[in-house]
């Protein structure tokens, strides 16, 4: 991993003293405009990012971890964030959370801001596509970075951890076959996403789309109208599955044997829905704690996590498939 540029590197590049660079960083009005421009130009050339809070964090003996998530509105990610934050807090670390809402430019901005405020490490569930700006800045920062849940294209230089989504897809498909399903559909998840492809397990019909409840509700009508022979559905996540169930019930189509629905993630609402939603459970709280432990091992003992880790999943069968 490349060494992070220091204030000494800036001074050398700009041809000024270290104290002059410090005055520029502190926006001291006594520094001439030409000198400020000279120093800032040097910072840009060598990729120096000012850690505003680094000094105060060192004095307080507190570290700050950045957590960058693609969809914090999803209860799955919210539970992951809470478990990770609590585990880090137990070890004296503060967590700064940024939600990118699947926006690559926003992700780059959030990452740059976290680097600028002196985070000791970053955990990121990246957006799909356009992530080079984010990961180039993280490489330049020289801090530990762990990718979770999604693997960014071209970011193999960072360790990756996720539940075994492919195994979960197979569990869901095997369960539907055991329940007598003859024609299976996969609903939700954008095409080309590795995480989408991993969760598929041989469906005869694929209806890709946004991983939202609204999309699932829309697809319930499409299935009833255009694909009445489909008698089992695996959904990209529980939000899509809950939408499929709600849309089907609104159409007067009962969910259960005859039209079985399986979700993915096993969020809390899956067990509270009526009927209860069969779902692939990923132990996201345990995954959050394990991610915190891996990052802290890297930070505190210098033990870099394995290049890729997959954690176990299990199927929780409820009334949406069993009646």
Question: Tell me, what's the pLDDT at 151?
Answer: 87
Q: pTM of the entire structure?
A: 0.79
DSSP-derived secondary structure for 191-236: TT-HHHHHH--S-SEEE-B-SSHHHHHHHHHHHHHH-TT--EEEES
List, for residues 192-206, the tens digit of each pLDDT value: 888 999 999 878 999
| Residue 176 predicted with pLDDT over 70 | yes
Domains and CATH numbers, the chain: 7-46 (no CATH), 54-158 (3.40.50.2300), 165-283+315-322 (3.40.50.2300)
Could you tell me which residues come within 8 angstroms of residue 267 by beta carbon, excluding any fewer than 6 positions away?
75, 76, 79, 238, 239, 279
Please say whether the beta carbons of 234 and 189 come within 8 A: no
Question: Tell me, what's the pLDDT at 261?
Answer: 98
């Amino acid at each position: 991993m490349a060494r992070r540029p220091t204030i000494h590197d800036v001074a050398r590049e700009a041809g000024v003293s270290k104290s002059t660079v410090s005055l520029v960083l502190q926006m001291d009005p006594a520094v001439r405009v030409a000198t400020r421009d000279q120093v800032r130009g040097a910072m840009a050339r060598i990729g120096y990012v000012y850690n505003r809070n680094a000094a105060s964090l060192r004095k307080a003996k507190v570290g700050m971890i950045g957590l960058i998530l693609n969809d914090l509105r999803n209860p799955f990610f919210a539970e992951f964030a809470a478990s990770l934050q609590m585990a880090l807090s137990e070890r004296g670390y503060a967590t700064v959370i940024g939600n990118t809402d699947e926006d690559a430019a926003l992700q780059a901005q959030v990452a740059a801001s976290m680097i600028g405020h002196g985070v000791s490490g970053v955990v990121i569930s990246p957006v799909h596509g356009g992530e080079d700006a984010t990961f180039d800045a993280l490489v330049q920062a020289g801090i530990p970075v762990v990718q979770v849940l999604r693997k960014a294209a071209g970011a193999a230089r960072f360790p990756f951890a996720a539940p075994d989504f492919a195994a979960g897809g197979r569990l869901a498909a095997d369960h539907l076959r055991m329940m007598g399903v003859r024609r299976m559909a996969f609903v939700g998840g954008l095409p080309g996403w590795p995480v989408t492809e991993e969760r598929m397990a041989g469906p005869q019909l694929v209806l890709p789309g946004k991983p939202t409840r609204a999309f699932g509700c829309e697809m319930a009508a499409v299935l009833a109208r255009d694909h009445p022979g489909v008698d089992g559905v695996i959904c990209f996540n529980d939000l899509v599955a809950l939408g499929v169930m709600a849309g089907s019930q609104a159409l007067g189509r009962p969910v259960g044997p005859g039209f079985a629905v399986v979700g993915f993630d096993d969020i809390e609402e899956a067990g509270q829905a009526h009927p209860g939603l069969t779902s692939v459970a990923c132990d996201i709280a345990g995954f959050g704690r394990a991610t915190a432990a891996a990052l802290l091992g890297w930070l505190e003992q210098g033990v870099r996590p394995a290049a890729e880790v997959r954690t176990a999943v299990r199927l929780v069968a409820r009334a949406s498939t069993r009646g």
